[in-house]
A and B are shown apart, each in its own frame.
Chain A
Amino acid sequence: MTTNLRDMDMVTMNIIDSTMVSVCREMGIVLMKTSYSTIFNEALDFTCALAGPDGEMISQAEFCPSMIGGVPLLARSCVREFKPGEIEEGDVIVHNDPYRGGLHCPEHTMIKPVYVDGEIMAYAMSIGHLVEIGGMVAGAFAGEATEIFQEGIRVPPVKIRAKGEDVEEVWKLLLANVRTPRYNYGDLRALIAAVDLGEKRLVDLIRKYGKETFRKTIADLITYSEARMRAEIAQIPDGQYKFSDTVEDDGIEAKPYTINVTVHVQGDEAVIDYTGTSKQARGPINGTLGVSWSAAYNAMLHMTDQSIPRNSGCFKPIRVVSPPGTVVNVDYPGPEVGGNTETHCKIAGTIIGAMAKAVPNRTMAAEGATHTNFVFSGYDKAQDETFVCYAIELGGWGGRSFADGNDATDAINGNCRVVPVEVFETRYPWQTMSYELVQDSGGPGEHRGGLSTRRTLKNAKVEITGSQMSDRHRNQPWGLNGGQKGGLAGTWYRKANSDRWQMIDEAFGKVSASKWANIRIQPGDSMRFQTPGGGGWGDPKKRPRDQVQEDLREGYISKDVARKVYGLEAGGGD
C-alpha cells in the first residue's frame, strides 16, 4: 500500500483536497443563507458535495451526514439516466426518486456538470430536504402512508435548467404539486445557486492546476482514502459481530420490525450484512437501498479516523449485503419517508452496538435514534398563503467508555440544529409553553446517557393539521456493558380547557402513538413532545460519587434514582 502511495504528489493532493472541501462549505453557506425553509436555514438539513465524471464522490463539506453515504449512488443513478453527451454545459438536473438512489422523497438533489473546454470534469451536487412535496400530508411525513405515491411528488432525474436557462415546464410541474410553491421556489433556487457556485469554483481550480493534474489528483485522493480506511479496518480484530434493534411499529400495524446486523471483519475489509432483518413494512418506515448503504458508511466513519478525506475511497473496503424486500431495502412501491430519519439512525446505531466489543473506545450505547419529526400546516391569513413546517427535536446520546452521553443532541444520521423558539413563534401560530431537559431520562451508567428534551406547545391562533414520524415510545434505547436503558419518548395531546394529556393513539384512535397522519389541532389545544434519552455505559454503581452528587445537585437525576439506581448513600448530595 505505502509503495503505491509514494508515487503520489501528496502536497498537491493536500492542497486540492482542502480547496474542494472549502468549495463545498462555501456552497453550503449560500444554501443556508438563501433558502426559505427553516429545516434548511436553521436546522441545516442539507449537504454539498463534488463528484468525479464517473459519479464517485470526491469531496464533501460537513453538513448532514445521512446524505453523504448516499452521494455515490445518487450521482451514478442520476448520470446513468442520460445518454452520453446529453448533459450539457449549464444544465442542472433535479432528482428526488428513492427508487433511483435517493434516500427519501423530500430530499431533492441538484447536479450540475462542471465543464472545462467541452469536457465534463466533475459534478457539483447539492442535496436538501424540501419541507413540502405534496402527497397525503403537508410536510411529507405521512405516518400512515402505504405507497410511495401518498408520500409526495416523485421526480426522476430531469433537467430543471438547460444550458443556463430555466426549463419552465419542469418548474410548473414541480410547483403545481405542492402546498407551498413560494417556499419551494426559494428552496429550489437556493439549491441551484449552490451548484452554480460549486461549478464556478471548480472550473477555477481545474484551470489553475490543469485537467491532467486534477484528474490524477482526484483519482489519487480516492486511492489514498481507500488505503487509509483499509488500514483502519485492519486494526479492528477479525470476527463476526452481531447486534439487533427494533423499530417499534410502522404506523399501520402495531408490531415491531427487527433490524438485524452482522458485521464481518476480515483483514482490511468489512461486510455489513442485514440478513435476518424483518420483511418490509406496509407503513413508511422502510429504508431504501441508499439508506442501507449510507447508514453502514455512517457507522463505519464514526468508528474510524476522523482525518481521512471524505470521498468514495472511504467506502470501497466496506461491502453491504442488503436483502431486498426488507425494512432496510424496500421494494417498489413501498412507502419510505421515515426510513431515512428513523430507520437510518437505528441501523447505524445497531452496527455501532455490534462493534462495541471489538472497538469499545469508538462506540457508544444507544442514542435516542429518532428525529421526532413533527410536520404541520395551516392557513396564514396575514400572508394569504398556506404554511407548512417540519420540526425536529433533540434526544440524548449514548454513554461512552470515556464520557457521558451528550444531552440534547441530534440523532446520529443528522447534524441538525433545533429551531429557536423565537424564530418558531415568529413564523408559526404556536406558543411554546416550555422547553426543558427531562430529569432521569439519561440511561443510568458509570457514564450516563444524555438527557432528552420535552417541549410543550399551545396552538395560539388557527386550525392546524399535524402528522408525526417518530419512534422509541415503547422501545427504550439500550445500554452497554451494564449501563441501563435511556428514557422513553412520547407525544401527548391536550384539548383546550382540559387538563388531561392523552397519547395520540388514544386521543385520535390511531394505531401508533409515534407515527400518524393528519390530526386536527384547534386553537387552545396543546401538544407535548418528549424525546428519548441515551442509554448508559457501565454499571451505575461504579459512577464516581462526586458525579452522582453533582447530577443530583444539577437536577439531572432525581433523589430517588440517585439512591436506588446509583446507590448513593442517604444524605449524599443534600
Chain B
Amino acid sequence: MAGYLVGIDVGGTFTDFVSYDPNTRAVDVWKNLTTPKDPNEGIVTGLGHVKDPSGIGNMRLGTTIATNAILERKGAIVAYITTEGFRDVPFIQRGNRRSHYDITWVKPKPLVKRRHCFEVRERIMSNGEVQTPLDPETVRAAAKAIKADGSIEAVAVNLLFSYVSPEHEREVKKILEQELPGVPVSLSYDVLPKWKEYERASTTLADAYVKPLVVRYSKTLKSRLKDKGITDHVVLIKSNGGEMTLDAAANAPIQMTVSGPTGGVIAAKHIAKLCNVSHLVTLDMGGTSTDCATVINGRENFTTDFEIEFGVPIQIPMIDIRTIGAGGGSMAWIDKGGMLRVGPQSAGASPGPACYMMGGTEATVTDANVTLGRINPGNFLGGAMKLDAAAARKAVETVGKKLGRSAEETALAMVRIANNNMVGALRSVLIERGLDPRDFALLAFGGAGPLHINDLMDDAGIPSGIVPNYPGQFSAFGFIMTDARVDTMRTVQMTSKRFDQARATEVLQSLVASGLEDLKAQGYTKNIEVHRSVELRYLGQNYELEVPIPFDRFDATTTPKVWEAFHQLHQARFGFNIPREIIEVITIKATVVSLTEKPAFKTIGKGAGAKPLNKRPVTFTSGTVETPVYDRGALKEGDAITGPAVIEEPASVTVLNPGRKLKVDAYGNLLIGKLAGE
C-alpha cells in the first residue's frame, strides 16, 4: 500500500495541512496554530490529525523560518571573507535610497559586522585570468582571527569574479575546513554564480546567516518526526518551487527564502492543466498581503531580482511572485488632503478587523466586505469565528463621516481602492511584461481572493476567473504536487560576433550534468526533464532576456535560431529591436527536474442544478440587491449560477457580480466569465 502525501504550509498565524491518500484518492485539509517559538511544535501537533502518521509516505513542508530570521535579524554571527581591498562592499552597497525625497531614511545594515570582515590576497580578472594567486597564509590569518573572536558561527566567502572562476573560493573553503572544523562555509559561487559583487555578497551572507539555524531546525524536525514514526521522505520546498531534502536545505538554506507562497503557483500549474487553460494569473489574497504570479503554457515565471527588504538583495532563482501590502486586514484612512486611502498598514490577525471583536477599531477591507453583505458574519471560517457586523459598519461609518458618504458608499470606495492596489500587482506581472490580460484567466485563492475575483476581472480586463478547491489552504495543496528541481547557471560573456560554440556547448552540457548529479545525490533519478536557456542582451545593455533553447548543442543550425529568437523577444517585450546589433551572451542556464507522481483527484459527480440556501442583501456597485447564497459543498458538476450570488465555503466566499456567469467543473472548481460560457 502506498503511503499518503502530506503538504504543510507554515504561515504567520496558521499552519495549513493537506493530505492525499493514493489508495482511496481522498483529500483532507485542516489547520493548526503556528508556534513561532518552537516552529516544529505546530507541525508535530498538527500531524496528530492523521490517524497513523507512520503511514505518511511523503511529507512536504513550506516554511518561512529562513525569511523570518533575516527580517527579524535573528540569524547567526557570521564572518565575511573577500578579496584584498574590498571588505567594505557589503557596507557601501549601491548608494541609492529607497525613496528619493526622504530625508529620514536610514540605510540598511548588512548581516555582518565590519570587524568580522577579512581580506585575503588573491585576484582573478574579468576574463578569468589569475592575476594574483591565492596566498593561503592570508586565509589562515583570517581563520585564526575568526577562531580568536570565538563568536563566529558561519563564514561567507565572496571573491571578486568568482563567477568566472571559482578556484580561489574553493581553495579558501578547503583551508577554512581544516582550520575551523565544524563551522559552515558558504561560497558565493555555490550560492549565486553571477556578476555584481554587492548582490552576490548580500545573498552569500544571507545563506551563511541562516545556515546554523536551518541546520538545527532540520535536525530537530527529523528527530521529532522520527518519534512520530515518520521516517520516509520528508522534504522542504525551495523558492524555485522544487523540493529538496532536509540535508540539502541545511547545506544551502538560502534556497528556501520564499518557500510558502510557491505552493500556490505549483497548485496553479495543476489547475491550468485540469481546466485546460494556457494562461493563468494567480491572486493569493490573505490578511496583510497579496501575491501575484503567472503560469503560461504550464510554466511558472522565474526571477533572480528579489530583495528581501530594500537594499538587501537575495538573488537566487525563485518563482517570480510579486507581493503587495494589501489584504483583508488593510486599513482605511483619510490623508491630510481628505483623500481616502487603503493600506499598506494592516490590522493583521491581531487586533484584526473591527468585526473580529479582538480590540481592532479601524475599518479594514474585511469590515467593508461585511458592511456590503459580501461576508456572512455568522459563517466565517465555517462558523468557527463569529463576526460583529455592527462593529464593522461602525468603523466604516467613522471613515465615511470624514468623506461625507454613507457606510455603503464608503465600503464600496474602500473595496474599489483596495482592488486598484491589487490591479497594480496584476499589471506588474502581466502588462509590465508585455502580456495581454485578455489572454488570461484569474485564479483567486487565499481567504480573501474569491471575494474580489469578480471586481478584479472587471478592473484588470481579465475575461475568465477560477476559484479552486481549498482556496484557504491552496499553498499546502500545491505542496502535494511538487517536483524536485535544481537550477544551474554560469556566466560566460561571449558575443554573437565571436561565439565559441564548442565552449558554450560544453558549459551547457556540464550544467545539465551537475544538475543531474545534485538530484541524484538527493535520491531523485526518475522522470527527468531538462530545460535549457541562455540570457542575452544587445552589446552595451545591462539586463538580459532569457531565451529558451530546445536543443543541447550550439552549432551552425541552432545558433542563428537563438539570435533570431532574441530579436523577436526584445520586440515583444520592449516594443523595438535592433536587427543588426551584436548580441552578448551572458549566462547559460539549465534546469533539471525530477517529476514526482501526482495525485489523481476524484470528480464530484453531476449535479441537478444549484439551489440557494437562502437570500440576503448584498451591495454591488450597481446597488443593493437580495442575493441568493449557495453552499459550495453542495454544488456539483455542471451546476450553473448567474450573478448576483455569493457562494460560501468554510475558508472563503466567492462573490458573483450581477450578470456574471459561473459554472462548476467536474472537480469542483468554480469557473467564472468566459470559461463559464459568457
B616 at the interface (CB under 8 A from A): no
- Whether B413 and A11, one on each chain, are in contact in the complex, defined by CB atoms closer than 8 angstroms, is yes
Partner of A435, one of B92, B101, B195: B92
- Whether B126 and A426, one on each chain, are in contact in the complex, defined by CB atoms closer than 8 angstroms, is yes
Say yes or no: A362-B103 contact (C-beta < 8 A), given A13-B339, A435-B89, A554-B114: yes
How long is the Cα–Cα vector from A234 to B574 in the complex, in angstroms?
A: 45
Partner of B575, one of A5, A196, A426, A437: A196
Smallest CB-CB separation from A41: which chain B residue?
A: B542
How long is the Cα–Cα vector from A11 to B399 in the complex, in angstroms?
A: 13
B340 at the interface (CB under 8 A from A): yes
- Whether B126 and A422, one on each chain, are in contact in the complex, defined by CB atoms closer than 8 angstroms, is yes
- Whether A5 and B432, one on each chain, are in contact in the complex, defined by CB atoms closer than 8 angstroms, is no
A298 at the interface (CB under 8 A from B): yes
Binary per-residue interface labels of chain A (12-42) against chain B in the complex, 1 for a CB within 8 Å, 0 otherwise: 0111001100100010011011111110011
- Whether B542 and A186, one on each chain, are in contact in the complex, defined by CB atoms closer than 8 angstroms, is no
Smallest CB-CB separation from B495: which chain A residue?
A: A383
How long is the Cα–Cα vector from A409 to B337 in the complex, in angstroms?
A: 32
**Contacting residues, chain B, for A403 (C-beta < 8 A):** 104, 106
Q: Which of B80-88, B379-387, B521-529, B642-650 contacts A (4 or more CB under 8 A)?
A: B80-88
Smallest CB-CB separation from B340: which chain A residue?
A: A10
A496 at the interface (CB under 8 A from B): no
- Whether B541 and A41, one on each chain, are in contact in the complex, defined by CB atoms closer than 8 angstroms, is yes
How long is the Cα–Cα vector from A185 to B582 in the complex, in angstroms?
A: 13
B604 at the interface (CB under 8 A from A): no
**Contacting residues, chain A, for B424 (C-beta < 8 A):** 18-19, 22
- Whether B420 and A30, one on each chain, are in contact in the complex, defined by CB atoms closer than 8 angstroms, is no
B93 at the interface (CB under 8 A from A): yes
- Whether A35 and B541, one on each chain, are in contact in the complex, defined by CB atoms closer than 8 angstroms, is yes
**Contacting residues, chain B, for A434 (C-beta < 8 A):** 84-86
How many contacts between A and B, using CB within 8 angstroms?
202
B224 at the interface (CB under 8 A from A): no
Partner of A306, one of B101, B160, B404: B101
B267–chain A nearest beta-carbon distance, Å: 28
Q: Which of A106-114, A410-418, A560-568 contacts B (4 or more CB under 8 A)?
A: A410-418
B276 at the interface (CB under 8 A from A): no
- Whether B86 and A421, one on each chain, are in contact in the complex, defined by CB atoms closer than 8 angstroms, is yes
Within 8 A of A (CB), among B372-420: 403-404, 413, 416-417, 420
Partner of B574, one of A5, A33, A65: A33
Binary per-residue interface labels of chain B (422-435) against chain A in the complex, 1 for a CB within 8 Å, 0 otherwise: 00100110011000
Say yes or no: A65-B100 contact (C-beta < 8 A), given A228-B337, A410-B95: yes
- Whether A422 and B161, one on each chain, are in contact in the complex, defined by CB atoms closer than 8 angstroms, is yes
**Contacting residues, chain B, for A402 (C-beta < 8 A):** 104
How long is the Cα–Cα vector from A183 to B540 in the complex, in angstroms?
A: 7
Say yes or no: A65-B101 contact (C-beta < 8 A), given A417-B96, A420-B198: yes
Residues of B in contact with A, size category: 35 or more
B597 at the interface (CB under 8 A from A): no
**Contacting residues, chain A, for B93 (C-beta < 8 A):** 408
B233 at the interface (CB under 8 A from A): no
Partner of B339, one of A14, A36, A193, A421: A14
Partner of B197, one of A193, A422, A437: A422
- Whether B196 and A406, one on each chain, are in contact in the complex, defined by CB atoms closer than 8 angstroms, is no
How long is the Cα–Cα vector from A554 to B88 in the complex, in angstroms?
A: 11
Partner of A418, one of B87, B94, B336, B432: B94
A511 at the interface (CB under 8 A from B): no
Binary per-residue interface labels of chain A (419-448) against chain B in the complex, 1 for a CB within 8 Å, 0 otherwise: 011110110000111111100000000000
Partner of B416, one of A15, A42, A185, A555: A15
B598 at the interface (CB under 8 A from A): no
Say yes or no: A394-B95 contact (C-beta < 8 A), given A406-B107, A554-B115: yes
**Contacting residues, chain A, for B103 (C-beta < 8 A):** 302-303, 352, 362-364, 400
A49 at the interface (CB under 8 A from B): no
How long is the Cα–Cα vector from A318 to B315 in the complex, in angstroms?
A: 43
B148 at the interface (CB under 8 A from A): no
A227 at the interface (CB under 8 A from B): yes
B195–chain A nearest beta-carbon distance, Å: 4
How long is the Cα–Cα vector from A227 to B416 in the complex, in angstroms?
A: 25
Smallest CB-CB separation from A553: which chain B residue?
A: B115
Say yes or no: A421-B160 contact (C-beta < 8 A), given A18-B424, A186-B578, A189-B578: yes
Smallest CB-CB separation from A32: which chain B residue?
A: B543
**Contacting residues, chain B, for A19 (C-beta < 8 A):** 420, 424
Binary per-residue interface labels of chain A (200-222) against chain B in the complex, 1 for a CB within 8 Å, 0 otherwise: 01000000000000000000000
- Whether B336 and A305, one on each chain, are in contact in the complex, defined by CB atoms closer than 8 angstroms, is yes
- Whether B104 and A436, one on each chain, are in contact in the complex, defined by CB atoms closer than 8 angstroms, is no
- Whether B196 and A423, one on each chain, are in contact in the complex, defined by CB atoms closer than 8 angstroms, is yes
How long is the Cα–Cα vector from A30 to B195 in the complex, in angstroms?
A: 21
- Whether A197 and B337, one on each chain, are in contact in the complex, defined by CB atoms closer than 8 angstroms, is no
**Contacting residues, chain A, for B403 (C-beta < 8 A):** 10
- Whether B87 and A436, one on each chain, are in contact in the complex, defined by CB atoms closer than 8 angstroms, is yes
B275 at the interface (CB under 8 A from A): no
Say yes or no: A33-B543 contact (C-beta < 8 A), given A224-B339, A364-B103, A420-B198: yes
**Contacting residues, chain A, for B428 (C-beta < 8 A):** 22
**Among B87, B404, B432: residue with most chain A CB under 10 A:** B432
Say yes or no: A435-B96 contact (C-beta < 8 A), given A6-B338, A11-B416, A422-B195: no
- Whether A417 and B541, one on each chain, are in contact in the complex, defined by CB atoms closer than 8 angstroms, is no
**Contacting residues, chain A, for B416 (C-beta < 8 A):** 11, 15
A407 at the interface (CB under 8 A from B): yes
A231 at the interface (CB under 8 A from B): yes
Partner of A10, one of B92, B339, B581: B339
B572 at the interface (CB under 8 A from A): no
B622 at the interface (CB under 8 A from A): no
Partner of A231, one of B114, B115, B337, B575: B337
Q: When A and B form their complex, which 10 residue pairs have the shortest distance between CB atoms, in order from nearest?
A: A434-B85, A36-B540, A41-B542, A394-B95, A417-B94, A33-B543, A406-B107, A301-B101, A65-B100, A408-B92
List 21 interface pairs A-B (beta carbons < 8 Å), by A numbering: A10-B338, A22-B428, A34-B541, A62-B99, A185-B578, A224-B337, A298-B101, A306-B102, A362-B104, A406-B107, A407-B91, A409-B107, A410-B95, A415-B96, A418-B92, A420-B197, A420-B199, A426-B195, A435-B85, A435-B92, A554-B115
**Further contacts, 4 of them, CB under 8 A, given A183-B540, A420-B197:** A34-B538, A36-B538, A36-B540, A302-B102
